Structure 1
Amino acid sequence: MNKAIGVIDSGVGGLTVAHELMRQLPKERLIYLGDTQRCPYGPRSKDEVKKFTWEMVEFLLEKDIKMLIVACNTATAFTLHELKEHLSIPVIGVIKPGARAAINGTKSSHIGVIGTEGTIRSDAYAKALKDINADLDVQSLACPSFVPMVEQGRLSGEQTEEVVGDSLLPLKQKRNLDTLILGCTHYPLIKDTIQLVMGDDVAIISSSEETAREASTILEFHGILYKGEETPLHQFYSTGQLEVFAKIAEGIFKEFINHFHSVTIEKATLR
């Protein structure tokens, strides 16, 4: 089936998931929509996040996608169950894959989670982790300054290191913490700085790889994995300005991408 996989995010962060999908599923076609105009989602109310997410979903449904990947942790926390309930196509979020990867990686059973205010407020990661292992010690921390910094293209340098260092100080002081989940798909874009601040003894977990593996398994299970020879032509949409979006995308994909489009998404009915 040569229908596309739809990927949505509040901005550029989900491009890290898209990149991993392209690496693990090179025959699959992707349609990506980043709501950069209204990013970040983290400080917004649950109802706002649900409304914005449904607007993105309805835009992609018009493209006749065969699977939806919610590459935004805040949107996953607030809307995943509802999306699965209402949509007839497979829907994947990024929280459970990230939780599984962290549990596989930790040796001390002390796991940190960083994310937007909305994701941390939802307690979605702690719940996902403890559903698997109730004995885990989970420390969660909101880092509201990270997403605006990434969306502005400030991915490295002294100022970025200072912001990350100040934000992560509460977790850095936690003894025995050996694993840190990047609970926002924007955060892998500053992963090197986060690793520098936390130190080499802390494993940094991004959900991108695990999410792509889950997508592959589900596509195969439903018999909708594309096995033809047609070269995929990916499409990337943004609700905001394309300049920074395109620059960050090219940094992630290490190549020039020319299928960028700026769009306005219509108002959706809140479910």
Structure 2
Amino acid sequence: MVKDAIGIIDLGLDGIEVAETLTQNLKHERIIYITDLQYDSYLNISEKEIAEILKRNIEIIAEYNPKLLIIVNDIIVDRAASVILDLKVPSVNVIETLIEYANKYYQDKNMVLLVKEKILEANLFPKNLKYNRLYQIASDELEVIIKEGMTKTSRSFNTVLEKLKPVLKKQIDLIITGTPNLLELNIEFKEYLNFQEITAHGEIFLKRLLEANITDLNRKGRGGFFVFGNMTKKEFLKKQKITSKFKYQQIQFKE
């Protein structure tokens, strides 16, 4: 039985990079990553469905006595805010973490906000960011390219160029990405845009855990990486390549 763990909750596989980064750098921590792959973070999911997914995954993680929950999917943060507020376990989420990072290191600078259309509509970032200029761009088309494995192709370069037209020839300090996998288009972004940094979610979460007094991190003991999903391990590995050693458990989610 895994105890005293850091639980990571996702929808789809966008946030697996965060789990791997923490696993590789926090050697004494037990990292539990759970996701429901019946759903995809690009789909139009209702608030009720998102809340039910989150509650279900929290119930599973609760069996392992988590000391911290990390919500790595922006759609969950947007659609299930009330559930997150009611959590009995300390939690951090991707939106507040990115905002805190941007304000700490890039206050009053020029930023590009690259997030899903629904996150733009929710206005979760602009009202809390401290910027000089903020350029907001919907990332949905770019995320489809990544999902289909079409990065570093003429399609990816052309789509990135089209999406970045509003900021071409602008001096950009920070690109804030709503999902970690947008980092896979870093080469395309560099081709057309002069910027200082693009957010690497795993490194930013790691920095926050190390510097902020959010939870006590283990200084000794054996850590581990545990993945929970609703498909077989073979099916899971077809969808996602993981370089870290991990244990996989298939879960039958109740309807």
Q: Shift of the alpha carbon at 1:93?
A: 0.3
Match of 1:12 in 2: 13
User: What residue number does 2:226 align with?
Assistant: 235
Cα distance in 1, alignment partners of residues 146 and 228 from structure 2: 18
More helix by share: 1
Deviation at 1:187, TM superposition (A): 1.7
Of the structure 1 ranges 74-83 and 240-249, higher mean CA displacement relative to structure 2 is found in 240-249
* TM-superposed deviation, 1:117: 2.5
**2:172 match: secondary structure:** coil
Aligned partner letter, 1:10: L
Equivalent position amino acid for 2:159 in 1: V
Q: Please provide the CA RMSD for this pair.
A: 3.0
Q: 2:60 is matched with which residue?
A: 59
What are the residue-to-residue correspondences of 1:208-227 with 2, within 5 Å? 208-217=202-211, 222=215, 224-227=216-219
Q: The residue matched to 2:51 in structure 1 has which SS? A: helix
- Report if aligned partners of 2:99, 2:125 keep a CA contact under 8 Å in 1: yes
Deviation, structure 1 residue 139: 2.1
Q: Post-superposition shift, 1:76?
A: 2.0
Contact kept? 2:51, 2:79, Cα under 8 Å:
yes
Cα distance, 1:51–1:149 mapped onto 2, change above 3 Å: farther
Q: State the 1:21 CA deviation.
A: 1.4
| Distance change >3 Å, CA 116–CA 35, structure 1 → 2 | farther
Q: 1:53 to 1:108 in 2, by over 3 A?
A: same
Task: Classify the secondary structure of the residue corresponding to 1:39.
Answer: coil
Quick one: distance in 2 between partners of 1:26 and 1:109?
A: 35
Q: Secondary structure of the residue that 1:236 maps to in structure 2?
A: strand
Alignment of structure 1 residues 163-182 onto 2, 5 Å: 163-166=159-162, 168-173=163-168, 175-182=170-177
Q: Following superposition of structure 1 onto structure 2, how do residues 11-90 of structure 1 map, counting pairs within 5 Å?
A: 11-41=12-42, 43-80=44-81, 82-83=83-84, 85-90=85-90
Partner of 2:237: 246
Given the two structures, how large is their TM-score scaled by the length of structure 2? Answer: 0.83
Query: Number of paired residues?
Result: 254
> Which of 133, 136, 142 is equivalent to 2:138?
142
- What is the CA deviation profile of residues 74-107 of structure 1, one whole-angstrom value per residue up to 9, with x for unaligned ones? 2123334531x32221111011221233334448
Q: Report 1 or 2 for greater relative contact order, CA contacts < 8 Å, sequence distance ≥ 6.
A: 1
Q: Which amino acid aligns with 2:19?
A: A
1:210 partner SS: helix
- Give the Cα separation in 1 of the matches to 2:192 and 2:116: 18
Identity %: 18
In structure 2, how many angstroms separate the alpha carbons of the residues matched to 1:259 and 1:22? 12
Letter in 2 for 1:234: F
- What is the TM-score when the length of structure 1 is the normalising length? 0.78
Within 1, Cα distance between the matches of 2:151 and 2:230? 21
Relative to structure 1, is the Cα distance of residues 178 and 226 closer, same or farther in structure 2, using a 3 angstrom cutoff?
Answer: closer
